[in-house]
Amino acid sequence: MNFLSQTIANKPDPNWSQVQVIPIIESQDPLVPLGLVNSPLRSYPAYFHQGVPGALNECYVRRSVLFRLYKAARLLPTGIELVVLDGWRPLPVQQYLYDTLHTVMTTHDTQQNETELLAHLRQFVSPPSDNPAAPSPHLTGGSVDVALCDVEGLLLDMGTEFDDISFWSASAAFETITKPNARESEVIENRRLLHSVMLQAGFSNLPSEWWHFDYGNQAWAWATQQSQAQFGVAERLTLAQRWLKSVTSEV
């Protein structure tokens, strides 16, 4: 068994009260767009294509995250490519995702009390926060949602769709099947492949989502037992903001 076929361990969800007190020493690593990136990386801004209000038509990540995505992509076997579905998010997009899922769960998951519901919700969407000391992971530019595709751009079977909120979205969910059928065996190998190359490239994985990986932010620092995080809230300045910054710096 090589590192690409390692069993995915069933890990607990992050202890968010511990995550949010990890100090952030901002590295000033800039956000960079993935639209100009060539093979072996693909970019498909999923929320934009789904019509989520405020979603960007481009995926942005911190520069050092991009370098690690390159490393992960180059570890993949010939014929398989890495697809980035989401990276940095503006706060309004995070708010929309959180509110929408909260509404769905409140309406249809009536067996849980409010505390249980919020804990379940947080497994899939973090509460919106641009607090410099405890930002939502995707607001840092250090979180990425990724999948695998073939050379034609067809997504591989990962067991669920991106952003599914069922039990089967957990990274290790299919590892619990004792006698997998052909399709389940394919899913297991696809997930192991994605998980392995991303961890080899320096990312950590959110156990409740096979597609979500972190680098440099508080979630990554907690998962990898680092004493501090490198990324706080990231900003993508508008043209007017960049001009104003340039003008004021000359005064």
pLDDT digits (tens, 9 = 90+) for 21-35: 999 999 999 999 998
What's residue 36's pLDDT?
83
User: CATH number of the domain that 57 lies in?
Assistant: 3.30.1380.10
What's residue 238's pLDDT?
77
Q: What's the mean pLDDT when you consider all of the chain?
A: 93
What's residue 1's pLDDT?
46
213: β partners: 144, 205
The tally of CA atoms less than 13 A away on the side-chain side of residue 221 is 24
Domain count, the chain: 1
Confirm whether 116 is a catalytic residue.
no
- Active-site position among 175, 209, 235, 250: 209
Amino acid code (one letter) for 154:
L
Do 83 and 149 contact (CB within 8 A), yes or no?
Answer: yes
Q: Check residue 159 and give left, alpha or beta (phi > 0: left; psi -120 to 50: alpha).
A: left
What's residue 110's pLDDT?
67
Any known ligand binding at 138? yes
What's residue 250's pLDDT?
60
The domain containing residue 153 runs over which residues? 3-250
4-13, 201-210, 222-231: the lowest-pLDDT one: 4-13
Do 203 and 214 contact (CB within 8 A), yes or no?
Answer: yes
Q: Read off the pLDDT of residues 75-99 as tens digits, 9 standing for 90 and up.
A: 999 999 999 999 999 999 999 999 9
Backbone angles phi, psi at 242, to 5 degrees: -70, -40
Q: Read off the pLDDT of residues 122-177 as tens digits, 9 standing for 90 and up.
A: 899 999 999 999 999 999 999 999 999 999 999 999 999 999 999 999 999 999 99
